[in-house]
Amino acid sequence: MDIIGFLVNIFADQNFLIRITLVILLVLYGFFALIIAIQISNLNKTINQIGFSGILNFIAALHVLASLALLVFAVLSL
């Protein structure tokens, strides 16, 4: 009976559900950012443009770090 009451309280609190959903979506976005960074790295290895590949790798790494920072901030603000 105590477990059922606990589950009812969790599902009754909509703010908690929204926060958990937000964290799950941010984790998926982090995976997306990581995949984009890997794809950019592979593209730069294939094309081998000396001047422009460093800028693209920097932007991709910055994007991954920003998504990771956003995820950490969201988890800490729960």
User: pLDDT, tens digit, for every residue of 8-44?
Assistant: 777 777 788 888 889 999 999 999 999 999 999 998 8
* pTM of the model as a whole: 0.76
Cβ–Cβ < 8 Å for 21, 62: no
Domain count, the chain: 1
CB atoms closer than 10 angstroms to residue 59: 13
Residue 77 region by backbone torsions, left for phi larger than 0, else alpha for psi between -120 and 50, else beta:
alpha
For residue 27, what pLDDT is reported? 95
d(CA 37, CA 41): 6
The DSSP 8-state label assigned to residue 23 in this structure reads H
More confident position, 27 or 47: 27
Residue range 34-61: mean pLDDT, rounded: 88
Whole domain around residue 21: which residue ranges?
2-76
